[in-house]
Amino acid sequence: MGDGPKLVGPDIDAYIAEYKKFLAKNPPTQPKREPFYYRDLPNRKERSLRGCFHDELFSRDNIEWKLANKFFDGDIPYMYEKLETLPEESFEEFWQTYRVDAGPRADRKYTIIFYGVSGYTGSMIMEYLNRECKDNIETSIAFAGRTLNKVVAMRDKVLAGTKWANIDCLTADLSNPFDVERIVSQCRVIVNIAGPFMKTGGERLVEACIHY
């Protein structure tokens, strides 16, 4: 990729060094692009850590999916047939836009996003905001959850007829790193109340917040 953007992720420098050694011992029969990410390293054992945001964001499956959707109408087999014909400039563009550019926290759309508000705890938060928050900050707060219609239904049930009635509702699945990246990059603070916390992908959310 020449002087193009460098992939970032856990152990990437060590991976590059080890992969170069592998290539020296096993030269390809024809020129090929470097593998998408360190998980493709031959004989590498899978990590046991669950919910690693960067691991998943740069996994081969996710990169293939995004590359195919950007340039090949989502057709991954066809993408591999035509991959060598894709101009270098297109690869540069792909990597430049692969990650979300969140921008400064002070300029983000939302001050707070409450995630996982479709249940009882979410209803308590909504009631508290309506009862205690007198500032006009409703346009800087959003509710979010995995299932949008459930989030909207809870908002309409608790906040109908109040100044919070039209607060933005977002959808995101914590098992999808692109969804996590999208909502985290839109706010200064995200409050996760989606339980049980050990089973809902909260680790991805924490790692994404550290990054952004």
Write out pLDDT tens, residues 152-176. 999 999 999 999 999 999 999 988 8
Stated as kind and residue range, the H or E segment containing 168 is strand 168-171
- For the segment 96-100, the average pLDDT, to the nearest whole number, is 86
Measure the CA–CA gap between 200 and 135, rounded to whole angstroms: 32
What sign does the dihedral 149-116-196-46 (CA atoms) show?
Answer: positive
> Among 207, 210, 186, which residue's Cα sits nearest to residue 56?
207
Measure the CA–CA gap between 164 and 78, rounded to whole angstroms: 48
First to last CA, the chain: 26
pTM across the whole model? 0.70
Is the backbone of residue 22 left (phi > 0), alpha (psi -120 to 50) or beta?
Answer: alpha
126 within 8 A of 155, measured Cβ to Cβ? yes
**pLDDT at 190 > cutoff 90:** yes
pLDDT digits (tens, 9 = 90+) for 50-84: 446 878 888 888 889 999 999 999 999 999 888 88
155 within 8 A of 75, measured Cβ to Cβ? no
Q: φ, ψ for residue 188 (rounded to 5)?
A: -85, -35
Beta strands at 110-115 and 187-192: parallel, antiparallel or unpaired: parallel
Measure the CA–CA gap between 57 and 55, rounded to whole angstroms: 6
* Least confident stretch, 57-61, 116-120, 140-144, 183-187: 57-61
Measure the CA–CA gap between 5 and 58, rounded to whole angstroms: 14
**Per DSSP, what are the bridge partners of residue 122?**
none
CA angle, corner 58, sides to 87 and 96, nearest 5? Answer: 45
